[in-house]
Structures are given as structure tokens and as C-alpha cells.
Amino acid sequence: MVTLQLDRLSARYGRRQILAEISTPRFEGGRVVALLGPNAAGKSTLFRRIFGLLKGGGEVRITGAASERPVAYMPQDTGVNAVLTVYESVLMARMQGRSLKVRPEDLAKVDQALDELGISPLGARDIGDISGGQRQLVSAAQALVQEPEILLLDEPTSALDLNRQISLLTILRRLAREREMLIMVALHDLGHALRFTDEAMVLQNGQLIACGSTAEVVTPELLHRVYRVAARIEPCSKGRPQLIVEESV
Amino acid sequence: MSVEIARTSQQVKGHGFYRALVLRRQLILLALTLALALSFCIDLALGPARFSLGEVMAALASPDAVSQQARVILWEIRMPVALMALVVGASLSIAGAQMQTILSNPLASPFTLGISAGASFGAALALAFGVVIVPAAVEYVVPINAFVMAMVTAFLIHAMSLRRGVTIETIVLLGIAMVFIFNSLMALIQFFSSQQAVAAVVFWTMGSLTKATWPKFWVALTVLVAVLPLLARHGWALTAMRLGDTKAESMGVNPRALRLEVMVLVSLLAAIAVAFVGTIGFIGLVGPHIARMLVGEDQRFFLPGSALCGALILSIGSVLSKIILPGTVIPIGIITSLVGIPFFLFLILNHKKASW
């Protein structure tokens, strides 16, 4: 099973230190890890550093990976104006680093990724013609079609309506379990983090200030300290932890 | 069970759609190739001595079957010009297509990045003052000057693009700045040179296929044939570049390295083309846009599509340059702009889908 551990990981843009010596316990495949923190905490930078797009001190330790490229990364959404259909854009994500010849199994994987995320009907649409939320699901399909063992998702729900947020996170959690895939997902909705993730790590000003099981990490004290809001966490009628935000402080 | 069936049918639908799309694009590429072959034959047939398409076909199939006069006219005089139209059209269009791709800018082309202007300046130095940048046979002094200056321009732009704070959007602005600089230098050259030299410079900048010869054709073709597979090798990565650097990086592409390599390759293509036939500004901008409308931006279709569109436009331009004023061959650069731009505007304004 694949595992991921960060050991004193740091990153800088020019002279500015963005991440300072981030060390985590070992995260295992099959788990969903929430990456939390306010704006500009360094979440995207951490993803880029783990994915290898940024150099810096420390080490990203991946063990037990079966493939050469075990990590896929879905960056935050940006608009596109390419003249490509959704189907082609997902196929292209799968074919990177491969020959120009598309095999039937490649098409089957594209079908599967689109199907899993419920966006098969979008296949023939132009990527520039779909909504921001749909584009985000297509981005998720582009990451999934690479068959990663570790999947890094940078705010995959930011443009989705409530229904699609819940459905995407449910699908991701199921896929993590089924494929023993480790998913690390940056989220702003702590309620979603409580409900859909197993572990959480919290960044603030480029430093890791909490890491552990989500239920233990997401507490009223943390919310006060990091997000500067007064909040309670209470079980709902079904026993699930419910986040109730009262006011900003 | 029913869920399983539903899934299977949906997968077939996904496959089916994509297969149909691929087939349609292959047919479009085939149609472009046939149109190109037809235009090429018409181009050969037209001129002061007119031949029927049948005679042209016969001369192409077996040169010995036609009269010696026809053979000389078709094979020795018209063939290099007609073939040069294809190679130059394809080269300029591919150069424009990849410049637009790597710079994410619909205005990028050898013309707007200043490469054509650089070439014109190099040519003007030779034509007006006899400046020889690299010693060579007299016939090649002008094209070599043009080529060297085109490459110098490309490298200047690249060097400037490496400075901090220069974004890919700025690169096109740098190119346009180069166009203005070279245009001013050209004006300066013309101001100081003889009337005869001014005429030569002006004629050169109009772009004309009549400068084509067999050796020039072989050089241009060799460069095109060498560069094409190097670009095709990066097909998937180049397609990914159109989703933006961040997205491309997330798919494992190194945008900076790819941009540098592709820029060198397409500058070479554009520089060779412009050096041999002069400034033909329209192809590198419009060829790729028409290809994009026809076959999309998957590079497996976009690259050959751009090449075919560019070659076809220039070949049709060559035909028109002979028939608009019978007895006169109007410089091709004028034709492609005058006839091509209204056609291009018509396409853009009537195209239902956004094409950038």
C-alpha cells in the first residue's frame, strides 16, 4: 500500500519563505486527508512542493508505490479557451508522456473517469463552453484518469453547488477506499472536512500547526486561533459532528 | 444488473462519440489534402503558357510523355514555385500554430513576433548597402542575411522573455515592439539608399514565390521535414499547454523547457520560409485559426491541419496571383492579405463556436 510522509519540507519563492519545515506522520493509501488553513496559508504551495513543481529543503517520502508516477495533482481552477472537447481534454491528461497512439484501454479509462464523476454527458461539449463547476469536475476527471496512487486536490469543490460538493466528496472517499488511493484535499468548508476526511493537517503562515485525525484537529479552539471565528461542534440528530459558526472574532 | 447495462451503454456512447470525432477529423484532413493536390495542379497549369489539367497530370505522371517545352515549363520553371508555395505555407502556418499554442495568444505569429520584420531588415541591408552578414554565393546573400536577422530577432525575444516579470502575454508585446523597431530601421535604410535599391527592398518585402528555385525548395523542405517529427513528439504536451501553464505542469509538462525548444524549432521554420520568399504575413496568423476551426486543438490533428491549411492558402494565393491580372504575377504577399483577410473575417464572424 502506498504511503506518504513529509519530512521537514520547506519551500520559498525567491527570498520569501512560504513553507517552513513541515513534517507529518505517515499517511496511508485508502485515507482522505484534509489540508486546511486560511487564505495564503501555503496550501497550494505545499501541493506544488509535494508534486515536485517547487524545489526546497526536506523530503517527500513515498513508499509502496506500484507505478513510476504515483502522484496526480489537480491545481485550482483556471479558465480555459482551448478548442478541445471535454473528452479530449481528459484523454490528453491520460496520454501525457505516452505515445501518440491511443489504445482502446485508454478510451475505456476516460469513459470510466467521466462516468465516475457523473459527467459523461459533457464529453462532447467544448471545454471553454462549460460552467466553472463543470470545469472543476472535468479537472478532477483529468487527475483520476491518470490512475494515481496519491491524489492531491486543490480546492476541488470551490465552484460546485452544494449537491455536487457532497457528491464529489462522497465519490472521492469511496474511490480512496476501493483503490487504496491516498487523497489529500484542500478544503475551506470545515463541515465537509469533518464529514468526509479521515485526517487533517492545518497550515497557517506556512507552518503546520496541527495534524491528526480530523475530529481531533478541527476543534473550537483551532477555529478561534486559525480562522478567528467563534464556533461550536455538536453532534447532530444522526450523531455526526456538526460545525456551528457563531461570529467572527 | 440494469445499472451495469446502463454503464456499459454509456461507455459505448463515450467511445462512439470520440471515434466519430476522430473519423470526422481524419476526413477533413483528407479533404484538405485533395484540395491541396487540386490547387497544386491548377497552379502548375496557369501561366503565360496555359496547360489543361490533363496535360499537367500527364507531365506529372511521366515527364517524358509530354513535349520538351511543356516539360521544361512545368518541371523546371513552375514546379519549384508551386512546391515552394506548399512548403512555405505549411512552414509559416505551423510556426504560427505553435507560437499561438506556447504563448497562449491568438495574435502570435512569425509576423507579429517580429521575425518577418527582422528578416526584411536583414534582406534590406544586403539589397541596399550590400552588407553581407555571412559570406556566401551571391544568390544566397539576401536569404542568408534575412535568415540570420530572423533568428537574431527570435533569440532577442527569447532572451528578453527570460527576464523576471516578463509574462507570456508580454512576449507578444515585445514582438510588436520589434516590428516597429525594424520598420523604422527599414525606413532609415530606404531614406539613405538609391531609388533602385528602394525598389528592390520594397519588392522583397512584398513577398514573392518567383524567387523560388529547386535548391531553395530542397532546403526549405528539409527543414520542414526535420522539424515536424520533433514537434509531433511533443503532441500531447503541446495540447496540454493550451490549458495554461499550471494545468500543463500538473500533467507533468515542463512549460519553460517546452516553450524554449518549440520556439527555437518554429523560429527556424519561419526564418527559412521568410528568407526565401519574403514577407507573407497572413498565413502564420490565419492558417492555424482555420485549422483550429476545422479540427480543434488536439495536436495530432491540429499540427497536420495547420500545415495543410497554410499550404492550401498559399497555393490558392499563387493561383490567384496569376489570374487576377492576366499576364502579371502579383506578389503573393499582397494577394494572401487582400483576398485572404476578408475570407478569414467571414469565417470568424460566421463560425458558431468560439475559436479562441
Could you tell me the CA-to-CA distances from A165 to A45, A188, B295 in Å, in that order?
23, 12, 35
Lookup result for grid cell 485533395? B34
pLDDT given at position B8: 46
Domains and CATH numbers, chain B: 37-59+66-350 (1.10.3470.10)
Give the strand pairing for A182-186 and A150-154. Answer: parallel
The verdict on A142 touching B (C-beta cutoff 8 Å) is: yes
DSSP run (H or E) holding A144: helix A132-144
Which H or E run contains A179? helix A162-179
A106 CB neighbours in chain B (<8 A) are none
Give the integer Cα–Cα distance in Å for B5 and B181: 66
Of B250, B293, B296, the CB nearest to A75: B250
**Which among A78, A98, A124 has CB closest to B17?**
A124
**A78 contacts chain B (CB < 8 A):** yes
User: What does pLDDT average to over chain A?
Assistant: 94
Within 13 Å of residue B78, how many CA atoms lie on the same side as its CB?
A: 26
Element (H, E) at A230: strand A229-235
Which 3 state secondary structure label does DSSP give A244?
Answer: strand
A96:B251 CB<8 A: yes
- In the predicted structure, residue B109 carries a pLDDT above the cut 60: yes
pLDDT for res B228: 97
Interface contact B14-A87, CB threshold 8 A: yes
pLDDT beyond 80 at B21: yes
- The β-bridge partners of A244 are A232
Residues in A touching B298 (Cβ below 8 Å): 84, 88, 92
Domains of chain A: 1-70+148-214 (3.40.50.300), 80-144 (no CATH)
Asked if residue A217 lies in contact with residue A37, where contact means CB atoms within 8 angstroms, the answer is no
Strands A27-28 and A3-7: what pairing?
antiparallel
Residues of chain A contacting residue B254, judged by C-beta atoms under 8 Å apart: none
The reply to whether residue B249 touches residue A123, judged by beta carbons under 8 angstroms, is no
Question: What are B58-93's pLDDT values in tens digits?
Answer: 999 888 888 888 889 999 999 999 999 999 999 999
Chain A residues whose CB is inside 8 A of the B243 CB are 78, 80, 82, 89, 127
Q: Across residues A161-189, what is the average pLDDT?
A: 96
From the number of C-beta atoms within 10 Å of its C-beta (0-12, 13-18, 19+), residue B127 rates as buried
Concatenated DSSP letters for B131-148? --SS---HHHHHHHHHHH
Between chain A and chain B, how many beta carbons pairs sit less than 8 Å apart? 109
Of residues A82, A112, A120, nearest to B242 (C-beta): A82
Find chain B residues with C-beta within 8 A of A78's C-beta. 243-244, 246-247
Question: What mean pLDDT comes out for the span B230-250?
Answer: 95
**Euclidean distance between CA atoms B191 and B175, whole angstroms:** 24
Would you call A6 helix, strand, or coil by DSSP? strand
Higher pLDDT, B220 or B282: B220
For helices B115-129 and B138-161, the axis angle rounded to 10 degrees is 140
Q: Which of B26, B247, B293 to mutate to test the interface with A (most CBs of A within 10 A)?
A: B247
Query: What pLDDT score was predicted for residue B3?
Result: 44
Q: Is B237 in CB contact (< 8 Å) with chain A?
A: yes
Nearest residue of chain A to residue B231 (CA atoms): A100
Min Cα–Cα distance to chain A from B115, Å = 25
| DSSP-based three-state secondary structure for A241 | strand
pLDDT band at residue A16 under the 50/70/90 scheme: confident
pLDDT single digits (tens) B118-171: 999 999 999 999 888 888 888 788 899 999 999 999 889 888 888 877 888 888
Question: Mutating which of B243, B297, B302, B348 best tests the A interface, going by the most A Cβ atoms within 10 A?
Answer: B243
User: Is pLDDT at B314 greater than 90 in this prediction?
Assistant: yes
Chain A residues whose CB is inside 8 A of the B253 CB are: 96
Residue carrying C-alpha cell 473550537:
A220
Q: Does A40 touch chain B (CB under 8 A)?
A: no
**DSSP assignment of B261-326:** HHHHHHHHHHHHHHHHH---HHHHHHHHHHHHHHH-S-HHHHHHHHHHHHHHHHHHHHHHHHHSST
Give which of A16, A29, A49, A20 is closest to A178, Cα–Cα.
A29
pLDDT confidence tier of residue A247, bands split at 50, 70 and 90:
confident
Q: How many CA atoms lie within 13 A of A171 on its CB side?
A: 20
pLDDT band at B16 (very low <50, low <70, confident <90, very high): confident
- Would you say B223 and A61 are in contact if contact means Cβ atoms under 8 Å apart? no
**Is B6's Cβ below 8 Å from some Cβ in A?**
no
DSSP-assigned states of every residue in A38-67: STTSSHHHHHHHHHTSS--SSEEEEES--S
- Grid cell 492550401 — which residue? B312
DSSP character string of A65-114: --SS--EEEEPPP-----S-BHHHHHHHHHHTTS-SPPPHHHHHHHHHHH
- Better pLDDT: A64 or B279: A64
Hey, are the CB atoms on B21 and A87 less than 8 Å from each other?
Answer: yes
SS3 content of chain B, % helix, strand, coil (to 5): 80, 0, 20
For the residues B10-39, what does the mean pLDDT come to?
88
- CA pair distance B85, B312, nearest whole angstrom: 8
List CB contacts (< 8 A) between B356 and chain A.
Answer: 81, 83
Does A69 reach chain B within 8 Å, measured CB to CB? yes
Question: Rounded distance, CA B312 to CA B42, Å?
Answer: 12
pTM of the complete model: 0.90
What is the reported pLDDT for B218?
A: 96
- The CA distance from B237 to B317, in Å, is 33
Strand partners, A11: A19
- Are the beta carbons of B251 and A93 separated by less than 8 Å? yes
User: What distance in Å separates residue A221's CA from the closest CA in chain B?
Assistant: 35
User: Using the beta-carbon criterion (under 8 Å), do B14 and A107 form an inter-chain contact?
Assistant: yes
